[in-house]
Amino acid sequence: MAPITALHRTALGLALPLCLALVSPLLANEPAAPAAEEESTHAKVLRYTRALEETPDAADASEVRKALIDWAMNNGEFEVNLCNVMDLPELGHKDRSPITTELTQQMLFGNIAFQIEHGTDTPELARQVAAADSAIKVYTVMLSKHPELRIAQMDALIAEQKAGRLDRHLTPVVTDCLAARRTRVNQSPDEVPLLGGFLRETSVIYPERIGTWVMIGEHRFDTAPYGASLRYERPDDNTGFIDVYIYPVGMNSPEAVAEQAAIERDALQQSWASQLVDPPMSALSTFKLPVAPAKPSPYHQPRPKSVTAYQVDFGFKREDGPYSGAFIYMVDRLHGIEIRYNAKASSLDRTQLRKEAEKFAREVFPQLSIVSNGSCGLPQMGIDGKLADGCDGIEPVTPAVGEGKRELRFEYTPSPDTAQ
């Protein structure tokens, strides 16, 4: 089995206080049992966990998993270390199994179920063995129906289990896992690579339409830090277009965002220098984008009440005549967001374009969903022991994509230097 190190395994060394408050609609909205037979919270968790072990591909299995995860992240009753006892390939690896996420989630459920049944002062090794047992049950059921899902590492675990050696087999793995966790806790965020470390995967959900604007294409840049761009146009209108750029930037203070906005303005001015026309590019100004209130979570940093957007306007010339341009920059949920609106000056002057660009920003901003995972899912990587805003944990997430929305998903695999 490959050595375990901090940060470099999808499910490694996560020591989060996993929360068991009843927040999921699935858990909260079940028909109430008669008062004399009311099922306890812990009993319900056990029932769902065992049901997933028996029928992991049931019609409501994904809903049950989401309910358990949501429920497990809003309280501090149980502490779970998700050690990579299954030794499965990294996110983005060509050999990564399509059921890796389900198996890893089952380890979480199995670990909590063991603590419910045997107490929170149980040995770490016993918890990890129980977690592995639960994942093995899920794997066995899935494999019986889908032989193509066979995973060599899981077969090796089963062999150790059948030989009665699973606890002995996992002892060095758990020892390394806890040592890695201690290293991770003592490591500062500045020592963690942004992509492939702090951020491992990001899901961006965006609207296909904004008022009369229609998204006509998305472009992923070859260099991961540049993210992607979305182009919006109005049907049968060739007078202008809007590009929205979304790319990872990590955690930034308000002062750092303001400084970066000034850098972006300077870069914009330099890149357009030969085409700019008077009057000169405007100075940076700001406006506030309100953030929809969210239910407070003891697990995450609170969402800000608003996000500051920085804006400039300018005029430039192209072969087909003069144009007006507007540029907006903001940072939200660990990502930079830029909006660039260019239109023929004959259709919109700079003042009009600036107002239209701000209107677009106010309409698109509340419809953007940005969720990431990685070591940003370790509390010490956030502020005051809470996860970074926009980070959902260590493991990949699968957010719902509603009607009229599309998803951009980025996977940042560890570099050779961070995968050792």
290 upstream amide cis, omega within 30 of 0: no
Considering only CA atoms, which of 215, 168, 144, 252 is closest in space to residue 368? 215
pTM: 0.60
Q: Please state, in angstroms and rounded to a whole number, the distance separating the CA atoms of residues 64 and 304.
A: 30
Cβ–Cβ < 8 Å for 238, 279:
no
User: One-letter amino acid identity for 271?
Assistant: S
**Which pLDDT does position 278 carry in this prediction?**
94
**Which pLDDT does position 296 carry in this prediction?**
72
Q: Please state, in angstroms and rounded to a whole number, the distance separating the CA atoms of residues 231 and 246.
A: 12
Residue with tokens 């540049």: 226
Q: Please give the residue that has the higher pLDDT: either 11 or 411.
A: 411
pLDDT by residue (tens digit) across 242-277? 999 999 999 888 999 999 999 999 999 998 888 999
**Which pLDDT does position 4 carry in this prediction?**
21
Q: Please give the residue that has the higher pLDDT: either 3 or 114.
A: 114
- Model confidence at 95: pLDDT above 90: no
In this prediction, residues 73-87 reach a mean pLDDT of: 75
DSSP 377: G
In this prediction, residues 26-49 reach a mean pLDDT of: 70
69 falls in which pLDDT band (50, 70, 90)? confident
Q: Please give the residue that has the higher pLDDT: either 179 or 288.
A: 288
Dihedral angle over CA of 278, 279, 282, 283, nearest 10: 100
Considering only CA atoms, which of 180, 224, 124 is closest in space to residue 7? 180
Q: Please state, in angstroms and rounded to a whole number, the distance separating the CA atoms of residues 375 and 360.
A: 33
Q: Residue 90, CB half-sphere, CA atoms under 13 Å: how many?
A: 22
